[in-house]
């Protein structure tokens, strides 16, 4: 799903460039997959953000996937004090585990429940063919997800996300951190809807098939991102090859340590960003 989504969202020199995608073994979590990507998204930023960022910049995404446990870290190419960390755990329940990230239950005010079928989605993300209240898989017969599906569907899996945002820049900290938390739900909601709605495209694949699928789409996506940059900016090749290259990666980072305490950041401060129009997840 991530490979296909990245391919769809990449054009005109912006999108997702895959730098590394390779097996990795961790002493605690065992065998997994390490990926590093650069996300170019200048035109997608709000106007008040574009005013103080370079014309070409990227977000670095590093991910350690030891399914059913994963860690993803986002950092900015020119703002070392900016960071988003998402810790994920998958469990075979409907979201009922309030102690999934530690012995102490997560405070209720810090919990955001995401219903992939019935939650409203921003207009920019909504697609009728990905509406899970009407979707039905031709290969598996799964779907549609009707009212109270979380209580009646078996088997069922929940993806738990622990999101921490940090932007330690005076004058912008509260505004940016609030913006991140305000928008992260839509991103996760749209992505997990696609994971279900696109299942027929990869249902039945072996892991080897999945890696071939990833490799093909990553090569095509990288070409879409890089070809436009080289044609519009003679210095872009230099920009693309600076920063977090393969040889500078420290994969055995503390992000891999599941025992490390991680703060559960919540939105704070006020923001004057304009409300975005939203569409219902399904027709009335």
Identify which of 178, 192, 196 has the alpha carbon closest to the alpha carbon of residue 272.
Answer: 178
* Composition of the chain by helix, strand, coil, percent to 5: 30, 25, 45
Token code pair at residue 228: 């436009």
Identify which of 200, 219, 161, 240 has the alpha carbon closest to the alpha carbon of residue 6.
Answer: 219
CATH number assigned to the domain with residue range 2-279, chosen from the 4 options 3.30.540.10, 3.30.930.10, 3.40.50.1000, 3.30.530.20: 3.30.530.20
The tens place of each residue's pLDDT in the chain, 284 residues long, gives 888 877 777 666 677 888 999 999 999 999 999 999 988 876 666 676 666 666 667 889 999 999 999 999 999 877 778 899 999 999 999 999 999 998 888 888 889 999 999 999 888 888 899 999 999 999 999 999 999 999 998 889 999 999 999 888 788 788 888 888 888 888 899 999 999 999 999 999 998 999 899 889 888 888 877 765 555 454 444 433 333 333 334 454 444 444 333 433 333 444 444 455 554 444 33
Token code pair at residue 16: 């997702």
Boundaries of every domain in the chain? 2-279
Which residues neighbour 219 within 8 Å (Cβ) at sequence distance 6 or greater?
Answer: none
The Cα 144–Cα 154 span in angstroms is 13
């Amino acid at each position: 799903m991530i490979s296909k989504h990245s391919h769809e969202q990449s054009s005109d020199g912006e999108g997702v460039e895959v730098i590394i995608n390779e097996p990795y073994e961790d002493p605690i979590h065992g065998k997994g997959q390490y990926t590093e990507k650069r996300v170019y998204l200048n035109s997608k930023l709000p106007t008040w953000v574009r005013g103080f960022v370079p014309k070409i910049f990227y977000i670095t995404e590093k991910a350690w996937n030891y399914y059913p446990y994963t860690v993803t870290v986002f950092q900015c190419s020119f703002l070392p004090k900016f960071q988003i960390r998402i810790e994920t755990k998958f469990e075979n329940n409907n979201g009922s585990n309030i102690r999934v990230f530690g012995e102490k239950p997560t405070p209720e005010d810090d919990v955001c429940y995401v219903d992939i079928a019935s939650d409203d989605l921003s207009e920019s993300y909504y697609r009728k063919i990905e509406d899970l209240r009407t979707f039905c898989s031709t290969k598996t017969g799964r779907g549609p997800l009707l009212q109270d599906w979380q209580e009646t569907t078996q088997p069922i899996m929940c993806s738990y996300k622990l999101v921490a945002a940090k932007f330690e820049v005076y004058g912008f900290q509260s505004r940016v951190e609030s913006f991140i938390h305000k928008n992260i739900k839509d991103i996760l909601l749209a992505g997990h809807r696609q994971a279900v709605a696109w299942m027929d495209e990869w249902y039945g694949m072996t892991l080897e098939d999945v890696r071939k699928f990833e490799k093909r789409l990553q090569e095509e996506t990288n070409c879409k991102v890089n070809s436009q940059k080289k044609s519009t900016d003679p210095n872009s090749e230099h920009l693309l090859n600076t920063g977090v290259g393969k040889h500078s990666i420290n994969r055995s980072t503390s992000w891999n340590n599941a025992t490390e305490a991680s703060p559960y950041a919540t939105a704070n401060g006020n923001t004057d960003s304009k409300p975005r129009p939203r569409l219902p997840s399904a027709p009335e």
